[in-house]
Amino acid sequence: MEDVELLLILLVVGGLIALVATRGRGRGTSAQSQLGDAEAEARRWYERLGGQVLNLVGSDEPSKQALADAAERYTAAGSQLDQATSAPQYRLVTDTALEGLYYVRAARTAMGMDPGPELPGSAERARAGELASTREVDVDGRSVTGSPQPSAQNNHYYPGGMVGGRPVPAGWYSEPWWKPMLLGGVGAFGGMMVASALFSGFGAAAVGGGAMAGDMGGGFDPGMDPGMDPGGFDGGGFDGGGFDGGGFDGGGFFDGW
């Protein structure tokens, strides 16, 4: 009788061990699958950005500048891809490549070309909206302008998103005032001053965005905190937080280009 009880105990223990091992293998397989999907997604968008950057040549200053910015994102995405070892890191590559493709679309539009298929959006870009009319603000004695259309004066494109924690509408600007804020350094404070004026001066001209288009008077604080520390931003990437590239199927998305 004791032998039978011992046998039953051994069988139960063995079954529990097998169950735990099976679940562990299942979790490992799932994690490995997610990692593989994220890597494939990142490489897909990276390669499509590269195809555009390497085959397009700007015909005027706005398109040349937009393609130069797209090339910067392509280089940054390549560096991120070389170092990526986790799904979140591969999603960052996807985000960087997608921003580069926004610049490509802007360049193609500036040259009168078909911009191509719409790109996946993000919560930040949706909130920021885009410029609906030409506007001008004065910042510390200098004029900064923005417009929904490129021109000889407004030849720096921004795809819309968050800068210094504030939404900035997509559009063409007279200078890339946001770059020092994204990269940090001595020019960041000057960028904050521009941003503070732009948030109030350009905000009313934005369409398609919540806070920028209709919520400027509802507790939106156009003031900028000079003590903000932008140093933690990874200048190798871009400002695309909130977009989750994981699981998006980009297969065939740009095959028509």
- Give the model confidence (pLDDT) of 188-230 as tens digits: 555 566 666 665 666 555 666 544 333 333 333 333 333 333 3
238 falls within a domain: no
The verdict on residue 128 lying in a domain is yes
- Where are the extended beta strands (E) located within the chain? 130-131, 135-139, 142-147, 156-158, 161-163, 166-168, 171-173, 206-207
8 — pLDDT class (breaks 50, 70, 90): low
Q: What tens digit of pLDDT does each residue of 121-171 get?
A: 888 888 889 999 888 888 777 788 999 999 999 999 999 988 777 778 899
Instruction: Tell me which long-range contacts 229-236 makes (C-beta under 8 A, separation of at least 24).
Output: 229/184, 230/164, 230/181, 230/182, 230/183, 230/184, 230/188, 231/184, 233/182, 233/183, 233/184, 235/182, 235/183, 235/184, 236/76, 236/79, 236/80
**Residues 129, 224: Cα–Cα separation, whole Å:** 20
| Mean confidence (pLDDT) of the chain | 75
> What is the predicted pLDDT for the residue at 174?
93
Residue 130 sits in the same domain as residue 183: yes
How many structural domains does the chain have? Answer: 2
**Domain limits for position 136:** 124-232
Inside any domain, residue 12:
no
Residues 63 and 96 in one domain: yes
Report d(CA 245, CA 238) in Å as an integer. Answer: 14
